[in-house]
Amino acid sequence: MFTAGAESLLHQAREIQDEELKKFCSRVSKLLQKEDLGPDAADALRRLFLIVSATKYNRKLEKTCVDLLQTTLCLPTCPEQLQLLCAAILREMSPYDSLSLCCDHIQNTRQLSLVASVLLAQGDKKQEVRNVGLRVFKVLESRQPEGPSLRPLLPVLSKVTSLAPGTLHQDQTNVLNKRLVDWLRYASVQQGLVHSSGGFFSTPRARQPGPVTEVDGAVATDFFTVLSTGQHFTEDQWLNVQAFSMLRAWLLHSSPEGTGTADTDDRSELEGSTLSVLSATASTSRLLPPQERLRDKAFEYCQRLIEQSNRRALRKGDADLQKACLVEAVLVLDVLCRQDPSFLYRTLSCLKALHTRLCGDPTSVRALLPLAQFFLNHGEAVAVESEAMCQHLFTRTPSELFHSPTLAFEFIQFCRDNLPLFGRNLSVLKLSFPNLFKFLAWNSPPLTSEFVALLPSLVDAGTAVEMLHALLDLPCLTAALDLQLSCLEAFRDPQFQGLFQYLLRAKASGTTERLAPLHQLLQPMASCARVAQCAEAVPTLLRAFFSAVSQFTDKALTNQLALLLLERSESLYQVPGYEASVHRVLSSEFLALCTRHPSLVVELAKELLEFLGGTSGLRSGASMLSSVVWATGEYLSVCWDRRCTVEQINKFFEALEALLFELTQSRPSATLPRCPPQVITTLMTTLTKLASRSQDLIPRVSLFLSKMRTLALSPATSSEHCEEGVGAVRRRATELLHLLKMPSVAQFVFTPSVDVSEPRYHRDTNTALPLALCTVSRLVEKEAGLLPG
Amino acid sequence: MVHAFLIHTLRAPQAEDMGFCRVLYSCVFGAENLPDDPRPHGAERDRLLRKEQILAVARQVESMCQLQQQASGRPPTDLQPQSSDEPVPLHEAPHGAFRLAAGDPFQEPRTVVWLGVLSLGFALVLDAHENLLLAEGTLRLLARLLLDHLRLLAPGANLLLRADRIEGILVRFLPHGQLLFLNDQFVQGLEKEFSAAWPR
């Protein structure tokens, strides 16, 4: 479709030079000045449109040409095609400072609408929106039955009201309210006439048009709505469609209270008191002022739509429209109840019945969301079981319909937008996170940012651990959902059934299961695109999770999470690239946890020792290992936790020494990749730090460090990288050795007291660390020089 | 209401290195109320911003569509029409929605609803809390009308020099960005009106 020809056409349009454009403009001007505006003019204008729209930079068109475009647009005799093109070109050029277009004298409503579209695109620097609004109002308020069709003007009115809500004052709004009532409620219920092609005086020999019908073919039972059908439509029926289409925006923007978002307390009080004074019937509606009358008719319209949406439509297009109408009806009712709480009583009974009806209909799920929204908005005032509604919504819908991209988006948007309103139901939302994650696992690209915003409200102390496991297993969930959709055989295997059930649970269970067997089983699916996309999103989500958790975490939870990180870092679903990116996040978050609760190193000493001593440390990847080692060096000291014993320090020392030995002596193999130099240097530094605290260890460290200084590389494995790495290791070993020659300095450097974060330690030349280090180095080197050999 | 409608190219996922995502047609309904720009050439800057906003949307839609295609495992050759006689099954076409935060790229937060048909992307930029069901239906309708009336499935067809027809469709089915509740008969009526005014 987008052939090379089109690409070159675009290119030509962009590259056209000023001179050529000037010539073209004069050609266009000539064509537009002709009496007879033929196909040449249309052709030229199409090209001009392409030239103007093809580039994001301004095109300087000749003034005569632009003026002619404007006059042609306003010519009463101009054919539609050219009008549209002139309007389109002028719109494409907007905002345009020298526009002289004005809507005041245009009689033809279709032309007026086109001119308005150009004016509204100018950006309202010269009150264009207001002028257009007032002009349109003028035409709409006049009641000429034989006048031009008002159809083109209602959308303009709607646009003006949403761009500049204060354009019309209350009197004008009331006039329009009255007309809207006519169009909404009193449109003809007879089908339109078929106009024969005879002249003005010939009598139309069409059949008598019958009444309009409902979408299921039955004769219409009540007033005309957008769900009424027929062969042809009258003007007022068209206006009915347009009036309903703009109704919600009109109600919102034309009401002096605006959206009616009064204080929740005030509102529920008002709603509570109004309910005891019922006004269930609309018999006195004719006496109501225009705004209230419009609301009344809007209410009736919505009720009728709800009834009509229950019919079985004959055509698919109508069935789809029924659902859209249902959503809109609920949304309009919500606005009405917010603006006038006296509607609440009538609305509630109607909507409760609707809810029951929809719960049994799987195809109407999209309409459940605005319904839930309604109950959340107004649930305080009446004893509605919004909890049951939320339960149903969160428990059933995601499990069944996670694969629909637009439902997923709407559902999550619903959650995000209503967080302040959930109130008691927030716990339902929080406990349903496994179900919500299904949307995310299946549709990660559009939903990742939504979840990042949602996570702080989803996670709390009770669910944090379970949620972290769930996030780490998200790609696994994607694979499981894929399996669920395509075949159920895998779930029948009793060995895995329990685990699958856990993974696909709808609510937080409060327990955790180790899903390693599932990781293996689902390994073949790890290279699916959908799984890979989910895996890419997880690091971002993890960061959002930890950022949220940091707001409320206490010592116990921090310890739990730290252990979780250690454990899970070697037990991840093997999606290509996933492990590495998750390790990066986990290692930095581990350090953040340690920084927040330094005593965790002492409290979890046993587990950390196991991690360092076993092979898990090596399998967990360099970044994780580095973090744990560094944290040990930093926080395993009496300064941070008085319970730290010399014995503990010694134990850690031994473990780290053994680790370092293994890493530097063993040959790289397929399972144990060559260790990055950062790990080696971190290990050496940590060993030195520990030695500075338990000074009996100093000789051992010194021995080790001396060996490291003479670290040689086997010729077979040397490379540039390695050379650099080995050099870094040697340098670090030397520095550490120097420091150890002055134990008290070493202690100061490696185990600074907490006061060291005070600025004076760094400003005072006597205590500044870099200076101290320099001095030490120089002293030691001098000393070495003085020694023989 | 709809803030903008655009049609742009959709490249196959692997073809990302070849060419750019091109906006083939766009229409902005009304204008964002941007703060007054006292500097000279304020109008040009505003226009530049608008065009870039639309391009940003097109790129995001393309990316979302490519990711969805990859995820659903559909072959990239899906993007080429098989034959011009087969009606394109729009209900199975890739589609979705996503949110645009305030300032990125529009001043107000907005929602984008998109549809991918063969190698064209269609998108509606909506206000933040619109009736998405209606928007989706309208987008499918517009795509169907454009494919039919501009004969986009015929070989060598393009829509670059067909702005008048596109405008003719938009002015009837999405006037000033107003989403309309049109039942089947209304759609037929409007389509007849359009065909009469614009013979093929």
Q: How many beta carbons lie within 10 A of that of residue A273, not counting itself?
A: 11
Collapsing DSSP to helix, strand or coil, A151 comes out as: coil
**Pair of tokens at residue A37:** 């505006």
Chain B: closest CA distance from residue A359 (Å): 18
- Put simply, whether B162 touches A (Cβ < 8 Å) is yes
Chain A residues in contact with B72 (beta carbon < 8 A):
530
ipTM value, please give it: 0.94
Candidates B91, B181, B191, B200, partner chain A, best to mutate (most A CBs within 10 A): B181
Residues of chain B found within 8 Å of residue A122, distances taken between Cβ atoms: 31
CB contact under 8 A, A84 and B157: no
Find residues 356-385 of chain A whose CB sits inside 8 Å of chain B.
366
Q: A122 CA to chain B: closest CA distance, Å?
A: 7
Q: Which residue of B has its CA nearest to A86?
A: B164
Q: What is the residue range of B156's domain? A: 2-197
Contact A406/B197, CB-based, under 8 Å? no
In angstroms, the separation between the Cα of residue A129 and the nearest Cα of chain B is 9
Please provide the average confidence, as pLDDT, over all residues in chain B: 87
Number of structural domains chain B divides into: 1
Residue B96: which of A13, A162, A446 has the nearest Cβ?
A446
**Number of alpha helices (DSSP H) and beta strands (DSSP E) in chain B:** 4, 5
Query: Taking residues A671-686, what's their average pLDDT?
Result: 78
Other residues' Cβ atoms within 10 Å of the Cβ of residue B20: 13
Q: What residues in B contact A249, CB-CB < 8 Å?
A: 1
Give how far A124 is from chain B: nearest CA, Å: 7
Lowest mean pLDDT among A363-367, A430-434, A523-527: A363-367
pLDDT in tens, A83-139: 999 999 999 998 888 888 888 888 889 999 999 999 999 988 888 899 999 999 998
Please list, in sequence order, all residues whose beta carbon lies within 8 angstroms of the beta carbon of residue A755, skipping any fewer than 6 positions away. A761
pLDDT digits 0-9 by tens, A156-207:
999 999 998 888 889 999 999 999 999 999 998 888 877 655 455 555 555 6
Contacts (Cβ under 8 Å, ≥6 apart) of A769: A749, A761, A762
Question: If DSSP codes are grouped into helix, strand and coil, which group holds residue B123?
Answer: strand
Is B163 in Cβ contact with A445 (below 8 Å)?
no
pTM: 0.89
C-alpha closest to that of A83 among A132, A57, A60, A116: A116
pLDDT confidence of residue A721: 58
Q: How far is CA B150 from the centre of its chain?
A: 15
The share of chain A scoring above pLDDT 90, in percent, equals: 51
Choose among A85, A95, A327: nearest Cβ to B131.
A327
| Least confident residue range of A52-66, A357-371, A705-719 | A705-719
Give dist(CA B5, CA A669) in Å, integer. Answer: 58
Quick check: bond before A475 cis, omega within 30?
Answer: no
Neighbouring C-beta atoms of residue B101, cutoff 10 Å: 12
Task: To the nearest 10°, report the CA torsion of A277, A279, A284, A285.
Answer: 120
pLDDT digits (tens, 9 = 90+) for A203-221: 555 567 788 899 999 998 8
Interchain contact B87–A (C-beta under 8 A): no
pLDDT digits (tens, 9 = 90+) for B14-32: 765 667 889 999 999 988 8
B7: three-class secondary structure by DSSP: strand
pLDDT range class, residue A408, cuts 50, 70, 90: very high
Give the start-to-end residue ranges of the domains of chain A: 169-191+212-254+288-384, 398-597, 641-665+674-783
Which chain A residues are closer than 8 Å to B121 by Cβ?
Answer: none
CA atoms of A494 and A78, how far apart (whole Å): 76
CA dist A175 and A185 (Å) reads 16
Domain holding B74: CATH number?
3.30.450.60
A241-274 pLDDT, tens digit per residue, is 999 999 999 999 887 655 444 444 444 444 444 4
CB-based contact B88:B118 (threshold 8 Å): yes
**Does residue B46 belong to the interface with chain A, where contact is any CB pair within 8 Å?**
yes
Q: Is residue A262 exposed (0-12), middle (13-18) or buried (19+ Cβ within 10 Å)?
A: middle
Using an 8 Å CB-CB cutoff, list chain B residues near A530: 70-73
Taking CB atoms and an 8 Å cutoff, what residues of chain B touch A94?
Answer: 31, 47
What pLDDT, in 10s, does the model give residues B36-61?
666 777 888 889 999 999 999 999 99
User: Given this model, what pLDDT does residue A715 score?
Assistant: 45
Contacts A–B by Cβ distance under 8 A: 229
Q: Is B68 on the interface with A (CB under 8 A)?
A: yes
Within 8 A of B164 by CB-CB distance, chain A residues are 42, 45-46, 81, 84-85, 88
